Chain A
């Protein structure tokens, strides 16, 4: 038995390292106070890097631990790597922000680390109970982070909104989970999978209660990935939260929630494909269309990125709707590329300062090309990539999801998808236009923290070279998808 426990603990080593780091930093933080908040942040980054490295070296492990509550396989590892990358980069970006914006609280890095831990746990969950546990650990930490600037009305408002709506969605998810348990008699994903296989073997239709439960579960998860019609919180929270926090929100939690959605729908609930496919198709169309049209009128770049993220979730759902192994690959490739694009964009937004103060208006970018050409080029690459113009990475992402959808025969969905991406191209182009075509107003500050500059450079370069060197990403996603489908 001891070896069993030892083995289980070893499988969960990345999570354990993150948890221990968070707890010990909480302790040391109270001793040193806010003076050392910056160093604490770097320690968090190191912990995340360690966890990521451990996962890279044990990528192909496939085992189930803790009595079936916890699963380690390439799919989870791939998604965990994305989550850790997103969280780590967002933390790096927030270092300078923290110092300058009176946010040097030691709680901030610790909370981010706890949220990351929650996300990683979520990705590895193999049971409705452990799913909920990871989700709540993540959400509670993020509610606090959104409102971390207590003296700012906007930030507090954002935190409160996020909390109220998030609690509602958790409630729905829990309600759905309890319905599923009631009708299927098990909370474990393996058990659920068996129930559905038996059903289809006997030729029975799934019971209505089970489907209602699934709908509630989906509603809760759609809230977390901010898909329409559960998106209302996104623009307000993106705009209200401090920019470094928004950068964190935009990347890792979305990927983690998506991982959950994929694990639930493609593993145990694949037997109910017909039922959930229509929901996902509808949600996907609504998200793409709303993301495309609502962003056109935005003047605040964070708000614009919120609508853009809603649209991108829609595209990723296009891939998921296909419900095949190709679909899983396409969603993973999409999420990976989206994560990098969006973090690069937020890195650019973080550099937008005038006379030392942050500005967030799209118009503030006017004439950026004449004052800071390199930054303008990088941001333009990211914008074209977000718009999905070849040969940039954003196009490869769209190529994968639309290809999966066409293979599954979802032509209407694909056509709506491409048309809404033509509409969406308009507002990305508008940003390029402001930077290149217009004359500069009062210029933005040129000084940029070194780590932020590095993130901008690597992310925009990655957009360009991915088309030539797609291999580690695409083959990793293929291996991960194969493991999700039990191959």
Chain B
């Protein structure tokens, strides 16, 4: 295989965006053509990305599909893309969710359709680029550039408080990631290379320096993830974003934080990681329990799911920082599962929001009576979010808890409490919306899902069940990369000097 499939998958959506840009004419025609071009481009990109899935060699931790070119020779920067077992599924997740987002906004977005579709295609390029960049500065560029289209998506097509939310989203994440930029430049200067695979192998910076660098990376990824207590931008952004915006936000953008921990913090700064493990455990457990409790009290559906995302991401950080095979595999699996499930849950909210234009839980009741198909779909994803065995949610959470047990049984116990609470708020939500008598007259008129909506959910349901029933096909991809990661982490810990508190305070 010699054709640069990864670069094509990355930049093809950009080509689609240019095509849309060149569409002229009447507003209705422009909107129709823009939708079609966006759908075809993103579907074609997804089909191309399947080549990566099938061509990916299982059982190795090496980076595959590597594309390399000279970029900024004066600074010593190269353009380099490639995927390993951790990033490849995330690339696929991004390419899968984009056409779904385009379909989901088919009817609900009515003004500025052309710009909307351009924003989503640009976003796809940036997401795929973030997960496949193998140069640390190139990664930063993709990681940060995501802010521009997302800012516009929330701000232009969002709800009533969209301006506040868009600013909060942008400035929160910008402040975090700018600190990371300083750390990135420091690593680049100190190690003399910006090549991610090399940096992952060497990982021999002095311990006290690693602590500072780790904190700077943590600022970026913790905000992106988001971890308690810097999660407050997420509920705002989710509530105000249009449905497809929430889908991408929950489905892909949150994964950038976890991916960042796995790609940078753990392999490049093992001493820093070791130093801060207690902190991460504490924050993760608080996130799992506290935000679950907050979710119980929500009146707004999207806000409830947003808080549940924070709780699920708490599992991910916990899994990453227990630093054993099960924990990290579980964390990656949980990221993928959450990417599908939370995206689907936001789409579920979108289905009834499009009909009634409210997200207040109180306004709904007894939808099972006249929307049976919807009730079924919602149930599948609700149960997957709860972590019912047989769905994707179970595998991730189970592996994380198994991993956590090896670190500390108390932590495992607290995390498991979060699962119980998770079941509570999701079932409670489901009961209030779907069950009960149908008395409100406007609800009686609601139609069940149409073909377009069913087509959106079909692949997601299939994926949730596949991941839940036969997780081996995913773990086979993730496994070897995680194995090498854990192994290198423990050898690197022995080889470098641990940070001393004295050196930290002195320097």
The chain A residues found within 8 Å of chain B, CB to CB, are: 329, 373, 384, 389-391, 395, 399-400, 402-403, 406-407, 411, 414-415, 418-419, 421-422, 425-426, 429, 432-433, 436-437, 467, 470, 474-475, 477-478
Tell yes or no: B15 within 8 A of A by CB.
no
Residue of B nearest to A387 (CB): B174
Residue contacts A-B, CB under 8 angstroms, 12 given: A389-B147, A390-B140, A395-B141, A395-B144, A399-B185, A402-B182, A402-B185, A429-B167, A432-B152, A436-B152, A467-B141, A474-B73
Tell me, in angstroms, the Cα distance from A216 to B163 when the chains sit together: 47
Tell me, in angstroms, the Cα distance from A5 to B399 when the chains sit together: 83
Residues of chain B from 100 to 147 with CB closer than 8 A to chain A in the complex: 115, 137, 140-142, 144-145, 147
Tell me, in angstroms, the Cα distance from A401 to B369 when the chains sit together: 63
Expressed in whole angstroms, the minimum distance between the Cβ of B325 and any Cβ of chain A is: 35
| Cross-chain contact B182 with A389 (CB below 8 angstroms) | no
Known contacts A403-B75, A437-B163; is-contact A391 B145 (Cβ 8 Å): yes
Tell yes or no: B338 within 8 A of A by CB.
no
Known contacts A429-B167, A437-B155, A475-B74; is-contact A422 B148 (Cβ 8 Å): no
Residue of B nearest to A407 (CB): B189
* Chain B residues within 8 Å of A384, by CB: 148
Residue of B nearest to A467 (CB): B141
Closest A-B pairs by Cβ, 5 of them: A418-B178, A390-B141, A422-B175, A406-B185, A437-B155
Tell yes or no: B170 within 8 A of A by CB.
yes
| Cross-chain contact B186 with A329 (CB below 8 angstroms) | no
Q: A437-B155, A470-B71 are in contact. List 19 more A-B contacts (CB 8 A).
A: A384-B148, A389-B145, A390-B142, A403-B188, A406-B185, A415-B182, A419-B178, A419-B179, A421-B178, A422-B174, A425-B174, A426-B171, A433-B163, A436-B152, A436-B155, A436-B156, A437-B166, A470-B72, A478-B74
Tell yes or no: B303 within 8 A of A by CB.
no
B361-400 vs A, Cβ < 8 Å mask (1 yes, 0 no): 0000000000000000000000000000000000000000
Residue of B nearest to A414 (CB): B182
Tell me, in angstroms, the Cα distance from A351 to B68 when the chains sit together: 43
Residue of B nearest to A406 (CB): B185
* Chain B residues within 8 Å of A373, by CB: 115
Tell yes or no: B200 within 8 A of A by CB.
no
B154-170 vs A, Cβ < 8 Å mask (1 yes, 0 no): 01100000110011001
Expressed in whole angstroms, the minimum distance between the Cβ of B254 and any Cβ of chain A is: 20
Residue of A nearest to B172 (CB): A422
| Cross-chain contact B151 with A429 (CB below 8 angstroms) | yes
* Chain A residues within 8 Å of B162, by CB: 437
* Chain B residues within 8 Å of A437, by CB: 155-156, 162-163, 166
| Cross-chain contact A390 with B175 (CB below 8 angstroms) | no
Tell me, in angstroms, the Cα distance from A390 to B138 when the chains sit together: 10
Tell yes or no: B456 within 8 A of A by CB.
no
Q: Size class of B's contact patch? A: 20 to 34
Known contacts A415-B179, A425-B170; is-contact A403 B151 (Cβ 8 Å): no
| Cross-chain contact A399 with B182 (CB below 8 angstroms) | no
* Contact for B74 among A391, A467, A474, CB less than 8 A: A474
Tell me, in angstroms, the Cα distance from A433 to B171 when the chains sit together: 13
Tell yes or no: B181 within 8 A of A by CB.
yes
Tell me, in angstroms, the Cα distance from A419 to B179 when the chains sit together: 8
| Cross-chain contact B182 with A426 (CB below 8 angstroms) | no
Known contacts A389-B148, A391-B141; is-contact A419 B175 (Cβ 8 Å): yes
| Cross-chain contact A433 with B166 (CB below 8 angstroms) | yes
* Chain A residues within 8 Å of B147, by CB: 389
* Chain B residues within 8 Å of A474, by CB: 72-75
Tell me, in angstroms, the Cα distance from A399 to B184 when the chains sit together: 10
| Cross-chain contact A422 with B72 (CB below 8 angstroms) | no
Known contacts A384-B148, A470-B72; is-contact A406 B175 (Cβ 8 Å): no
Tell me, in angstroms, the Cα distance from A411 to B163 when the chains sit together: 34
Tell me, in angstroms, the Cα distance from A478 to B73 when the chains sit together: 10
* Chain A residues within 8 Å of B142, by CB: 390-391
Tell me, in angstroms, the Cα distance from A467 to B185 when the chains sit together: 18
Expressed in whole angstroms, the minimum distance between the Cβ of A477 and any Cβ of chain B is: 8
Tell me, in angstroms, the Cα distance from A426 to B151 when the chains sit together: 12
Expressed in whole angstroms, the minimum distance between the Cβ of A134 and any Cβ of chain B is: 30
* Chain B residues within 8 Å of A477, by CB: 74
| Cross-chain contact A406 with B189 (CB below 8 angstroms) | yes
Residue of A nearest to B143 (CB): A390
Residue of B nearest to A370 (CB): B112
* Contact for A425 among B137, B156, B163, B171, CB less than 8 A: B171
Expressed in whole angstroms, the minimum distance between the Cβ of B164 and any Cβ of chain A is: 10
Known contacts A399-B137, A425-B174, A426-B167; is-contact A433 B185 (Cβ 8 Å): no
* Chain B residues within 8 Å of A429, by CB: 151, 167, 170-171
* Contact for B189 among A403, A418, A432, A475, CB less than 8 A: A403
Tell me, in angstroms, the Cα distance from A400 to B181 when the chains sit together: 12
Expressed in whole angstroms, the minimum distance between the Cβ of A259 and any Cβ of chain B is: 20
Known contacts A389-B145, A433-B166; is-contact A418 B74 (Cβ 8 Å): no
Expressed in whole angstroms, the minimum distance between the Cβ of B444 and any Cβ of chain A is: 35
Residue of A nearest to B140 (CB): A390
| Cross-chain contact B182 with A411 (CB below 8 angstroms) | yes
* Contact for A329 among B74, B156, B166, B181, CB less than 8 A: B74
* Chain B residues within 8 Å of A329, by CB: 74
* Contact for A390 among B74, B145, B186, B188, CB less than 8 A: B145
* Contact for A418 among B115, B163, B166, B181, CB less than 8 A: B181
Q: Of A390, A395, A414, A425, which is in contact with the most chain B CB atoms at under 10 Å from its CB?
A: A390
Residue of B nearest to A390 (CB): B141
Q: Of B73, B174, B188, which is in contact with the most chain A CB atoms at under 10 Å from its CB?
A: B174
Tell me, in angstroms, the Cα distance from A470 to B115 when the chains sit together: 28
Expressed in whole angstroms, the minimum distance between the Cβ of A250 and any Cβ of chain B is: 24
Tell me, in angstroms, the Cα distance from A396 to B131 when the chains sit together: 21
| Cross-chain contact A389 with B155 (CB below 8 angstroms) | no
| Cross-chain contact A414 with B185 (CB below 8 angstroms) | yes
Expressed in whole angstroms, the minimum distance between the Cβ of B110 and any Cβ of chain A is: 14
Tell me, in angstroms, the Cα distance from A415 to B219 when the chains sit together: 13
Residues of chain B from 74 to 97 with CB closer than 8 A to chain A in the complex: 74-75
Tell me, in angstroms, the Cα distance from A415 to B181 when the chains sit together: 9
Q: Of B73, B137, B148, which is in contact with the most chain A CB atoms at under 10 Å from its CB?
A: B148
| Cross-chain contact A400 with B75 (CB below 8 angstroms) | yes
Tell me, in angstroms, the Cα distance from A475 to B75 when the chains sit together: 10
Expressed in whole angstroms, the minimum distance between the Cβ of B25 and any Cβ of chain A is: 14
Residue of A nearest to B185 (CB): A406
* Chain A residues within 8 Å of B189, by CB: 403, 406-407
Tell me, in angstroms, the Cα distance from A433 to B137 when the chains sit together: 28
Residue of A nearest to B155 (CB): A437
Known contacts A418-B179, A425-B171; is-contact A389 B72 (Cβ 8 Å): no
Tell me, in angstroms, the Cα distance from A418 to B167 when the chains sit together: 18
Residue of A nearest to B188 (CB): A403
Tell me, in angstroms, the Cα distance from A390 to B182 when the chains sit together: 15
| Cross-chain contact A418 with B182 (CB below 8 angstroms) | yes
Expressed in whole angstroms, the minimum distance between the Cβ of A445 and any Cβ of chain B is: 22
* Chain B residues within 8 Å of A436, by CB: 152, 155-156
Tell me, in angstroms, the Cα distance from A426 to B175 when the chains sit together: 11
Known contacts A406-B182, A411-B182, A478-B74; is-contact A422 B171 (Cβ 8 Å): yes
* Chain B residues within 8 Å of A419, by CB: 175, 178-179
Tell me, in angstroms, the Cα distance from A400 to B188 when the chains sit together: 13
Tell me, in angstroms, the Cα distance from A411 to B188 when the chains sit together: 14
Tell me, in angstroms, the Cα distance from A444 to B15 when the chains sit together: 32
* Chain B residues within 8 Å of A389, by CB: 144-145, 147-148, 174
Tell me, in angstroms, the Cα distance from A59 to B142 when the chains sit together: 35
Expressed in whole angstroms, the minimum distance between the Cβ of B13 and any Cβ of chain A is: 15
Known contacts A411-B182, A415-B182, A418-B179; is-contact A433 B74 (Cβ 8 Å): no
* Chain B residues within 8 Å of A415, by CB: 179, 182
* Chain A residues within 8 Å of B151, by CB: 429, 432
| Cross-chain contact A390 with B167 (CB below 8 angstroms) | no
| Cross-chain contact B186 with A406 (CB below 8 angstroms) | yes
* Chain A residues within 8 Å of B174, by CB: 389, 422, 425
